[in-house]
Amino acid sequence: MTTDTSLDRYGEFEQVAHFRDDTNGLDGLIAIHSTVLGPALGGVRFRRYRSGFEARNDALRLARGMTYKAAVAGLDLGGGKAVIDGDPGSVDRVALFRAFGEAVESLGGRYITAEDVGTTVEDMVTVATETGHVVGLPESKGGLGDPSPSTALGVLASLKAALAFLDGGSTLVGRTIAVCGLGKVGAVLVRMLVEEGAAVAVADVDGERVTALADQLGVKAVEVEDIHRISADVFAPCALGGILTSNLIRELDVQAVVGAANNQLATPSSADLLAGRGIAYVPDFVANAGGLIHVAWEAKASLADVQTKVLELGDRVTDLLTQAAEAGISTQAAAEKVAEARIQARLDARSQLGATR
């Protein structure tokens, strides 16, 4: 295996390591954005990228997001992410993920991996044969299983807190929620919303997923290009990132945007556009932190305790919306301030410790 470990080549990143092994098709990057609060935890994505540049950018922006997610969630973890560029249909997954496990191990615990888009709990079991720095394991291996239901629970708590902040309403009965993306998180979220009495509209590029949920739960099926236009209380993006473009924001007819997808803002100015339209945006790295809380506590807490911690995200959302309103800034800016203040406080404590030694 060849390893190109480039420290500080990307300024704010602590480490970006490239791993390549032609014997099993491993061509990947591990990006460590920050380890100030603790080891950098973030999942590994496995998909075919159009270029090495695209793969690297994906790893970098996702790693940075993990730093903020962990910091706002109050976890003693830093931010990192890995990507593997390859064709999932034409590799020996066991050989590939063993090699990836070796790569994780070589970083000595500075990076902890988990599943993400394109990777599974089974892949993490393979990774665990080579390194202990892996979470998201099944219960049979000491883990708590798939974190997606915890992510959905955190989105639900965030969404309820946002609506309660906006109009004092404490129930979802009589509310309409538009969910875009019905995968591991979106489908569970839809079930939870229906159980809470909300009217739900759903869309996904995979028509079979839409039909299955519409048939099972009686939710309203909507075309992907129309889901953001429907008149609803909340738009919940649960597919891919970059969805909140200026055009889409202009067409929204909701009070709030709260969803699971990572990196929802198409550009930094999207946060101000949402605020300008009076739409409460719960930053993705706050709303979707349930999965991170789930894996961070695996082997240390029961699922019931983890769920209690995930539900506390609702209080964080209330605090954030309050701070943003008081300071006259976007919720994205308010959340970033909270994260950066926590990281800076840890750096200050460290330098004080150094000064007194």
Which residue numbers are catalytic?
A: 81
- Indicate whether 181 belongs to the interface with ligand NAI (CB under 6 A): yes
Chain residue at closest Cβ approach to ligand NAI: 183
Pairing, β 40-41 against β 78-85:
parallel
Cα Rg of the chain (Å, integer): 20
Q: What is the DSSP letter of 341?
A: H
- Indicate whether 143 belongs to the interface with ligand NAI (CB under 6 A): no
Helices (H), 204-312: 207-217, 246-251, 269-276, 284-287, 290-296, 303-311
Q: Could you give the CA distance from residue 45 to residue 58 in angstroms, rounded to a whole number?
A: 9
x/- binding map, residues 292-331, to ligand NAI, per CB under 6 A? ----------------------------------------
Comparing CA positions, the residue from 42, 47, 291, 252 lying closest to residue 158 is 291
Find the shortest distance in angstroms from Cβ 211 to ligand NAI: 12
- Indicate whether 238 belongs to the interface with ligand NAI (CB under 6 A): yes
Find the shortest distance in angstroms from Cβ 312 to ligand NAI: 17
Residue with Cβ nearer ligand NAI (194 or 292): 292
Q: Using the rule CB under 6 A, which residue among 20, 61, 93, 209 binds ligand NAI? A: 209
- Indicate whether 261 belongs to the interface with ligand NAI (CB under 6 A): yes
x/- binding map, residues 182-201, to ligand NAI, per CB under 6 A? xxxxx---------------
Does residue 95 sit in helix, strand or coil? helix
Q: Could you give the CA distance from residue 206 to residue 209 in angstroms, rounded to a whole number?
A: 6
Pairing, β 78-85 against β 26-34:
antiparallel
Which parts of this chain interact with ligand NAI (CB under 6 A)? Answer: 117, 147-148, 151, 180-186, 203-206, 209, 224, 238-241, 260-262, 288, 291
